[in-house]
Amino acid sequence: MVTGGAGFIGSNFVRHLLAADPAVRVINYDALTYAGTLANLEGVDEQYASRYRFIQADICDADAVRGVMTDENVDTLVHLAAESHVDRSIAEPGAFLQTNVMGTYNLLEAAREVWKGRDDVRFHHVGTDEVYGSLEPEGYFTEETPYNPSSPYSASKAASDHLVSAWARTYGVPATLSLCSNNYGPYQFPEKLLPLMMCNALLETPLPVYGDGKNVRDWLHVEDHCRALDLIVRRGEPGRSYNIGGNNEWRNIDVVELLCDLLQKARPPKQVKHYRELITFVPDRPGHDRRYAIDAERIRSELGWTPAWQFEDGLAQTLRWYLDNQHWLDRISREKYDGRRLGLLG
């Protein structure tokens, strides 16, 4: 059972599981909130009809969670469902507490009840490196780095991580935890940096860069993330956490400029000479962390995972996917997202 399987990472993970293992059966449990859409799973029903089922339900509905886990004989739960956009969390923090904290609690309690006495089961919780807060110019996040969340989003994810760890220690729920860096790739909702910049550039409208653009992020291709999750679920040690990073640190402004250069070659603009002319610096986000960087040595040494994608190549592949799937972008923009910025105070 994959919660949030109609979202960006979730839909990629569902596709990965079904393609990689002909014996696996996947229950996709998703509420289809604004960032989840069945357009992310087009063709999956037809291709994997006997091994795939979609159920529209909310993780905040405890009865629905227990019912699905029981009726479908779920033995592995990968928890990806979450409110995940920092700007949105600043504007609407209550929704993040409800979904990310209480939703995770409901899943853990359902697992404890439905799996009582079983040792052939696994609960995996997908977290974020944002729970660690902001790094200095040097150093990396390890699994021992103290949590220091800066936003309502990261605080709610930190709380959910602690719930998973507590349920593993107190109740013996066989749980693992992963904390990933910034994902990118196909099917990413356009409120996030890369697809937002792609959408705006194609419309030749301003490309908003927060603050001075020098905030640093470690970029992880969603395909690499899916491989890592699969390994942890199958071979990770219960009670253990694993950092997943792409080893690709980039400043935001450099990311946007690289994207402009790639798009300039792929589809030259009509109203400006170069897409870089569209870059516009805007007021920074409140509490904006300066740098994230992941030390992924544990998952490399214990499970043999390393990222396959270098960022320049991954970004070029991602851009090509968005250009080749303009219908997907148009549909999401029309039905789900108007490009409006959230999270400014005052």
Catalytic residue check, 147: no
Burial of 73 (0-12, 13-18, 19+ CB in 10 A): exposed
**Cα Rg, the chain, nearest whole Å:** 20
Q: Residue 291 pLDDT > 90, yes or no?
A: yes
The helix or strand, by DSSP H or E, that contains position 209, with its residue range, turns out to be: strand 207-210
Q: Catalytic residue among 30, 58, 87, 130, which? A: 130
- How many CB atoms neighbour CB 50 within 10 A? 6
Q: Give 53 or 329, the one with higher predicted confidence.
A: 53
Q: Residue 15 pLDDT > 80, yes or no?
A: yes
Q: What percent of the chain has pLDDT over 70?
A: 96
CA-closest candidate to residue 104, choices 234, 4, 244, 37: 4
Cα 58 from Cα 36, distance rounded (Å) = 12
Catalytic residue check, 153: yes
Cα 223 from Cα 209, distance rounded (Å) = 26
Looking at every residue in the chain, the average pLDDT score rounds to 94
pLDDT (tens digit, 9 = 90+) per residue, 277-287?
A: 999 999 998 98
CATH topology of domain 2-184+219-247+291-311: Rossmann fold (3.40.50)
Q: Catalytic residue among 48, 105, 132, 153, which? A: 153
Give Cβ neighbours of residue 75 (< 8 Å, ≥ 6 apart).
115, 118, 120, 121, 122
The domain spans of the chain are 2-184+219-247+291-311
Q: 164 and 108 in contact (C-beta within 8 Å)?
A: yes
Query: Band of the pLDDT at 324, cuts 50, 70, 90?
Result: very high
Q: Residue 297 pLDDT > 70, yes or no?
A: yes
User: Residue 206's pLDDT is what?
Assistant: 96
pLDDT (tens digit, 9 = 90+) per residue, 186-244?
A: 999 888 899 999 999 999 999 999 999 999 999 999 999 999 999 999 999 999 999 99
Q: Catalytic residue among 129, 224, 257, 289, which? A: 129
User: Residue 338's pLDDT is what?
Assistant: 62
- How many CB atoms neighbour CB 225 within 10 A? 25
CA-closest candidate to residue 14, choices 23, 5, 1: 5
